[in-house]
Structure 1
Amino acid sequence: MKSPPDHFDSRKLALQGLLGEPLLPASWRSRPRSFVALMALYESNHRRLGALAGELRSIDGLHQSSVQGDVELELRVTERSPYTTMLQLTYVFSDDGSVPNAPDMEVRVYHDARLAEAHSWADTHEHPLLRGWRQHAGLDLDQRWARNMMLNKWLEYCLERGHGFRRLRASP
């Protein structure tokens, strides 16, 4: 019996270990860019955010992650209710604020449903790719897709780079 290439096995195992799941299969009823597929994307966002930040239901305060060769990543809890938590997730490009943080996303975590939705992101972007995604998202569903695909890819990148949050201080 012929085994698959090594790079396939190691990637699959790394993703399973990292996310605690095989790649999320979308429902057979879902179509690309449909509402059902969007909910599967929210679920993937939740799993990746949990791998990055730990227990999302109890996270509080300000957290930072620094890895060699990458920009400092910051997560701040901005709002909490019994069933949801609002987070701000961004890169910090300068300590003095001379360079705007980006992508400066607000993420709403739905604890009972185990979903994480990119709720909003910065109104303007310096990076042409981010600007392009924002300009092409006209309808509400398209905007949700653009924000959440960006969040999903960004979380994947942060995990691959080795980011993980440590708490700096509690919320006031």
Structure 2
Amino acid sequence: MLLTKPRQYQPQLPDFLSLCERNYARLNRLLPAGYKPGLQWHIAITPQQQYQLTVLECGPFTTRLQIELISSEASAGSHYLSPGFDVQLYHDARLAEVVRVARYRQFAARYPYPNPQMMQPDEKRQINLLLADWLKLCISQGYHAAVELK
């Protein structure tokens, strides 16, 4: 019997760019008009499940946002219970990409499996799919709370 090596994951760039385009379009539906660095606003799914969005940086072609869960259960517990990530918006290309989740930054297009960091072979794609699911939830069931300047 001949054993074959499992096929290694190959990123599909058109698929990934399409995902980032859809995330950009969805995220723009949630952004307040005239946003600038330091602006914060909340999107609530339920009174107990609220997310805080903060504009970290604005440039002529890019914007970086931070998205964090700020529920009462998360603030009482450890930081592991309050997930957050940073999203980079590329306005010229109309793309939105997750650039940080928890303590991880700069994700590789693919990872060998298994690996010491316990990353999935398509970790970068999976994280951006998580953003897509979150954006769909916010658009369909969320409502905006107060907008404030930090």
Question: Is the structural similarity TM-score above 0.5?
Answer: yes
The Cα of 1:81 is off from its aligned counterpart by 1.6
Count of residue pairs the alignment pairs up = 125
Aligned to 2:84: 104
Aligned to 1:153: 133
Change (3 A) 1:158 1:44: same
Aligned to 1:36: 14
The Cα of 1:37 is off from its aligned counterpart by 0.6
Aligned to 1:115: 95
Q: How high is the TM-score relative to the length of structure 2?
A: 0.70
Unaligned runs of 5+ in 1: 1-31, 125-133
TM-align CA RMSD: 2.7
The Cα of 1:35 is off from its aligned counterpart by 0.9
Change (3 A) 1:96 1:33: closer
* AA in 2 matched with 1:98: A
Q: How high is the TM-score relative to the length of structure 1?
A: 0.62
1:59 aligns with 2:35: yes
Q: Is the 8 A contact 1:109 1:117 kept in 2?
A: yes
Runs of 4+ residues deviating >6 angstroms: none
Which structure dedicates a bigger proportion of its chain to helix? 1
Q: Is the 8 A contact 2:52 2:69 kept in 1?
A: yes
Give deviations 1:35-78, integer Å, cap 9, x for gaps.
Answer: 111000000001111112245xx422111123445511110011
Unaligned runs of 5+ in 2: 1-9, 105-116
Q: Aligned partners of 1:65 and 1:34: how far apart in 2?
A: 32
Change (3 A) 1:96 1:73: closer
The Cα of 1:136 is off from its aligned counterpart by 4.3
1:91 aligns with 2:69: yes
Alignment of 1:113-152 (within 5 A): 113-123=93-103, 135-138=118-121, 142-152=122-132
Change (3 A) 1:68 1:147: closer
Q: Aligned partners of 2:49 and 2:67: how far apart in 1?
A: 13
Q: Is the 8 A contact 1:53 1:165 kept in 2?
A: no
Q: Indicate the SS of the match to 2:128.
A: helix
The Cα of 1:159 is off from its aligned counterpart by 1.4
